[in-house]
Homo-oligomer: A and B are copies of this chain.
Amino acid sequence: MTIRAMCDTFDVTPRTLRFYEAKELLSPIREGQKRLFTRRDRGRLKLILRGKRFGFTLEDIRQLLSLYDLGDQQQTQLKRTLEIARQRLDAMRQQRADLDSAIGELDEQIIAGQQLLTEKMRQSAA
Contacts and interface: CB of A to CB of B under 8 A. Distances in A.
Nearest to A95: B99
A54 B31 CA distance: 46
Contacts of A120: 75, 78
Given A54-B99, A96-B96, A102-B53, A75 B121 contact: yes
Copies assembled: 2
A22 interface: no
A27 to B, nearest CB: 21
Given A93-B103, A117-B79, A110 B124 contact: no
A67 B109 contact: yes
Contacts of A105: 50
Interface stretch (A10-18, A36-44, A84-92): A84-92
Nearest to A102: B54
A106 interface: yes
A52 to B, nearest CB: 11
Interface string A61-94: 0000001101000010011011001101100110
A21 interface: no
A86 to B, nearest CB: 6
